[in-house]
Amino acid sequence: MNPNTTHAIEVLKADSSKISSVDFENLVFGNIFTDHMLSCDFRNGAWEKPIIKPYEPMLLDPSAKVFHYGQAIFEGMKAYKDDNDEVWLFRPEQNLERFNKSAVRLAMPEVPDDLFLEGMKQLIDLERDWVKKGKGNTLYIRPFMIAIGTGVVAAPSTQYRFMIILSPAKSYYSGEVKVIIAEHFSRAANGGIGAAKAAGNYSAQFYPTKLANEKGFQQIIWTDDATHTKLEEAGTMNVFFRINDTLYTAPTSERILDGVTRKSLIQLARSLDIKVEERSVLVTELVDAQKDGSLKEVFGAGTAAVVNPIVGFSYADMYYELPKLENSFAAMLKEKLTDIQYKIDSDPFGWTVKV
């Protein structure tokens, strides 16, 4: 990757916009997409000229390697509009850094800084009417890359396509979340691709999550693959545990995704003099804390929901309810973080980036 390379972006505008047909008050997350998308191919060892063009289906050869060997990575981000109609991104350089770490792990080419960041800004600027004002309204951003080289030989592709698509979104409400602590299934293993935001990580979760849903639970708290004694992630989110007045979360590793929301909440909590420990939390420790009353909260952290409180968990066929708190860390941290994202409050950390 050459970060100094400048990629001039060609822009082909849609003849008309479908924005007037969209009900922005009743959006289903990730179902509606804006008028344009960014696309750029990697061929012959170099990135070609990127193009912003009307959102449309694309043709791929049936032997494209993404279909056969799973070379596919993505990121999840959001854009926010403040009361002055300015549009902001939240720590986009962190997503770029993680995207390229995922690319390296899957033997894919890194995406240059200007293509990822400036291409994203130019696309969002073109679609700024799709970013609605008001807390809870966002524009979800999905950068992704797939292998488009042809042939069914089990080897990395030599051709790739990087794209960015955009989807307007409302607040992500999932209702009360009850989870099962995994005793058999694993999200990732040491030496694997758990730290990469790879498509295959998510498809592997669908079956055990389906089994949990059938038992009346919404998600799974994943445990380590070797012993199933260490608590790692909740569904597709990083997870925090509040025992007394200390927050605990698993350290990032080969198995655990380095979440942007996770690291932001840790920094924000510490700035508020909340004690945070990044260490492995044992299943037995969680159960004991619930029994003696020291377990106050469990919540997931990720881009879509920001913070998602968990009301109870099941382990070894026993269900444990969490207390209902009026002044929870989860609610306070979510409010403070989203106030920064929407420019309602000051940003002392320098996290927000203007489009």
**pTM as predicted:** 0.94
Q: What is the CATH number of the domain that holds 165?
A: 3.30.470.10
Could you give the number of structural domains in the chain? 2
In a domain, 217, yes or no: yes
**Predicted local confidence at residue 174, as pLDDT:** 64
Q: What residues contact residue 170 under an 8 Å CB cut-off, 6+ apart?
A: 24, 25, 27, 29, 136, 137, 138
Q: Does 84 reside within a domain? A: yes
The pLDDT value recorded for residue 173 is 61
Which pLDDT score, from 0 to 100, does residue 304 have?
A: 85
Each residue's pLDDT tens digit, 210-236: 999 999 999 999 999 999 999 999 988
Tell whether 227 is covered by a domain: yes
Tokens of 217: 């639970």
Q: Is residue 73 part of a domain?
A: yes
Which among 38, 41, 65, 72 has a CA at the least distance from the CA of 52? 38
| pLDDT block averages, 10 residues each, the chain of length 355 | 63 96 93 97 97 97 98 97 96 97 98 96 97 95 98 96 97 81 92 93 93 95 95 93 96 92 97 96 97 96 91 96 92 96 96 97
Per-residue pLDDT tens over the stretch 183-215: 999 998 999 999 999 999 999 999 999 999 999
Query: Domain end: 152, 169, 186, which one?
Result: 169
Q: Which domain holds residue 155?
A: 10-169
Quick one: pLDDT at residue 8? 87
Extract the tokens encoding 18.
């479908």
Of 164, 83, 170, which Cα lies nearest the Cα of 126? 164
